Structure 1
């Protein structure tokens, strides 16, 4: 096998070296030395990191499609998404300022952009009371202005302040998930929440704990991923508990709607009384006896 791995095309070798470095590429790929634990862990971490970055670029797409197709953001907490977006953006700025490898934080760039779109859709379809009286264009402009102001702040603020913001991502992660968890619990439903997004976040947090410990070793970042993992597991458990409940309720409401429609068009039956008079007697006079008169009720 080493005869093959040591003679791979140049573009494969260059790609491998750019990802894991010359030393680990030679050890793991060319020499197939899987006993080199340090390089093996590093290579696995790099592979997971790149996979998470690629997965993060599409992680929220199913959630976006759910909202757009349903033309509703029912069941999604605006507060949760605003706080989650802030957390992603702060982690992105903190990691970039500290020159961490892109494979350890790259998904935060894509998740921030996708969360911005989801937040704008929530404001559009289910605006908060403070913005409900404004037009959709005004709501969008105000939301974009607030997001741009925060983005500029992350760019111009000193690294020491960004480090303090990174500490704040711990409570932000907590408060970003708690409103969504409470809303799910209150409604006994997860609404338009995407199962794919929740499951992907659980897997991503697990992988990020490994990559952060292997390549970065920053306890603040690790603590943030650990807390996010716990909260995403809770959301996953709610998805499992309430799975299919929305469809069941819609079916029941549909059946009730049919009954109500029938009731709405129902009118009390008209009652007609038909008097049956016996034939006249041979003498040409009807029988005077009332007992021979029959009453019948006809219901139309």
Structure 2
């Protein structure tokens, strides 16, 4: 009896998503479960889809925090805009080059959530019209970049500049945090998830695309997301210490 008959027919297409041929036959038919190359493929696919699933909600804590506070205090609009450009570059570049969806799919969800954050920052700054204009312009640009008429050299240029854009974006936010002496309305959940997501993306990009521009951008993104994480931890501890000192003085 073939091993394939032991696998329910409805599971075969699902398993082939994470273990495309010839790895499906290697792992599930021949049962060579220690095949290193195929295991790397499966791990990469699973990580990629996990990142995409997480990206559906990764920035929702940030959105909720802004809505509850009715303020975008501490969130740098230039930094958010640059981050939006970098994510858009990854989305359009991966889409145009036909990379596996598991290697860039989270960008589609991140652009939507990042654009909302930018709008909310403008909205709660009393600039509703500017916010609506911002979204309208962005949607137009995104539609062009995902269209068949887009110039491929433009996409390559955007992707090549992505690492620099990410670095500048995070540095602007890091400077704002330092200047304010706090991370303001930044969400710790979002900051940490973005950091771990970029770490995982280094591996999946090496495995699934082999594109040096993509890999380099995620290396840079990891480094600068790490900087924001470090600030989040530092100012969190500082806030806790200040709070304890204040309570101690009141008790006296």
TM normalised by structure 2 equals 0.89
Counterpart CA distance in 2 for 1:36 and 1:63 is: 41
Q: Is 1:151 the equivalent of 2:127? A: no
Task: Give yes or no for contact 2:118–2:131 (8 Å, CA) kept in 1.
Answer: no
1:14 deviates by 1.9
* Contact preservation (8 Å) 1:87, 1:169: yes
Distance in 1 between residues matched to 2:143 and 2:21, nearest whole Å? 38
Q: Which residue is equivalent to 1:47? A: 46
Root mean square deviation of aligned Cα: 2.5
Return the alpha-carbon distance in structure 2 between the equivalents of residues 86 and 97 of structure 1: 16
Report if the CA contact (8 A) 1:191-1:246 is conserved: no
Partner of 2:131: 140
**2:169 paired with 1:176:** yes
- Cα distance, 1:30 vs structure 2: 4.2
Paired residues for 1:282-293 under 5 Å:
none
Residue in 1 that maps onto 2:232: 239
Worse-matched range after superposition: 78-87 or 14-23: 14-23
Deviation of residue 31 (structure 1)? 4.0
Query: What's the offset of the Cα at 1:251?
Result: 9.0
Q: Could you tell me which residue of structure 2 aligns to residue 280 of structure 1?
A: none
1:35 aligned counterpart, secondary structure = coil
2:205–2:214 contact (8 Å) kept in structure 1: yes
Which structure 1 residue ranges, 4+ long, deviate > 6 Å from structure 2?
2-5, 247-256
Q: Tell me by how many angstroms 1:140 deviates.
A: 2.6
CA 1:75/1:248 → structure 2, altered by over 3 Å: closer, same or farther?
Answer: farther
Q: Note if contact 1:6-1:30 (Cα within 8 Å) is conserved in structure 2.
A: no
CA change 1:248–1:158 in 2 (3 A) is: same
Question: Is the alpha carbon distance of 1:248 and 1:125 closer, same or farther for their aligned partners in structure 2, counting shifts above 3 Å?
Answer: farther
In the alignment, is the contact (CA less than 8 A) between 2:205 and 2:211 conserved in 1? Answer: yes
Which residue of structure 2 lines up, in the alignment, with residue 27 of structure 1? 26
Separation in structure 2 between the aligned mates of residue 5 and residue 157 of structure 1, nearest angstrom:
44
Render the CA deviation track for 1:66-115: whole Å, top value 9, x for unaligned. Answer: 11111111111111100001110111001110000000000000000000
User: What residue is the counterpart of 2:159 in the other structure?
Assistant: 166
Counterpart contact for 1:5–1:31, Cα < 8 Å: no
Which of 178, 189, 196 is the matching residue for 1:196?
Answer: 189
Report the equivalent of 1:76. 75
Gaps of 5+ in 1: 257-300
TM, length-normalised to structure 1: 0.76
**Larger helix proportion of the pair:** 2
Mapped to 2, the partners of 1:229 and 1:220 lie a distance apart of 14
Q: Is the 8 A contact 2:3 2:28 kept in 1?
A: no
